[in-house]
Amino acid sequence: MTVPAPLVGLDIGGTKTAAALVGPDGEVLGRRLAPTPAGSGPAAVLDTAARLARELLDPGGAGPVGVGTAGTVDPGTGTIRYATDSLPGWAGTPVADELAVRLARPVRVTNDVNAAALGESWVGAGRDRRELLLVAVGTGLGGAMLQRGRICTGARGGAGEVGHLPAPGAERLRCGCGRYGHLEAIASGTGLSAAYALDTGLRITGRAVAERAAAGEPVAREVVERAATALGRALAGLVALLDPQAVVLAGGAADALLPRARAALTAELPAAWADVPLLPATLGADAVVVGAARLAGHPGHGRQTDAAPAPVTDRRTRA
Ligand SMILES: [Zn+2]
């Protein structure tokens, strides 16, 4: 056996694309970053991702590449099933096949939040935990579940989308999916902004609401507390459903929501799960590229493209 070679992970988002060379212990050995040319269409987005990966890949190698991307990814084919307007035309793009052709090697693709969960469970806050729930609170609200160390994809790649759980208190708030009353509509940056605007008539960003709450402004504090309480209560239900070893909270709004969400979670949890911790994510912006590299080395779900010769040995260990 040779020593495992570093692998490349890609993070394709609506505004930026990142690539990293990740060593066998999860350490980031090199990075590349570029704006995502979202307005130029899927081919330009794929070209950019391939260029960044090529800058890090061993030109003589054939090791697989992993990708975490915005959108819902078909777990069997690596094709985008659904994407928001942040990447116009992305839905229907066969990302695994297209990148495999550009890079002449196997490519495995998953949703970016799924990749973040793989990264955090490998070398981050959920290190060595194989049963993990990760919730990412940023502009929106995403989630991912790992069972036995593998991504739980569901039938169409959409498992773990916790943002669309019904949330008491969110009835007047519109979710990113267009419905009202979902968890994302209250517990997200967009939700903080909308709730604050309803209460005050003033439209500021979710980050600004969090800053005002931290500075002690009563209305902002109440908005943040309502959001965090809704999140913590929903997490308690999810813990009872999924029985994870830990819940990891990631994303730009995580710090603002964590203390109150943890209190609500603790208050709501049945005694059987009283020791399930709510942990802040630790990998930050690296979580997706690190998790994507992990996916490349340990395919977590359905076979995708093997367009290139010499696919990697299937090291399907239980690690
Ligand atoms: Zn929704």
What are the extents of the domains in the chain?
7-115+285-297, 128-282
pLDDT digits (tens, 9 = 90+) for 95-144: 999 999 999 999 999 999 999 999 999 999 999 899 999 999 999 999 99
Same fold, 7-115+285-297 and 128-282: yes
Give the distance (Å) from ligand 1 centre to CA of residue 172: 13
Closest among 39, 40, 38, 41 to 12, alpha carbons compared: 38
Of the pLDDT bands very low, low, confident and very high (cuts 50, 70, 90), residue 42 is very high
pLDDT digits (tens, 9 = 90+) for 90-105: 999 999 999 999 999 9
pLDDT digits (tens, 9 = 90+) for 267-312: 999 999 999 999 999 999 999 999 999 999 986 544 455 444 333 3
**CATH superfamily of domain region 128-282:** ATPase, nucleotide binding domain (3.30.420.40)
Q: Provide the whole-model pTM.
A: 0.91
Cα distance from N-terminal residue to C-terminal residue, the chain:
18
Give the distance (Å) from ligand 1 centre to CA of residue 83: 14
Judge contact between 138 and 188, C-beta under 8 A.
yes
- Residue 61's pLDDT is 87
Closest among 194, 197, 186 to 225, alpha carbons compared: 186
Per CATH, domain 7-115+285-297 is 1.10.10.10: no
Give the distance (Å) from ligand 1 centre to CA of residue 55: 38
DSSP code for 163: G
Give the distance (Å) from ligand 1 centre to CA of residue 180: 7
Give the distance (Å) from ligand 1 centre to CA of residue 193: 16
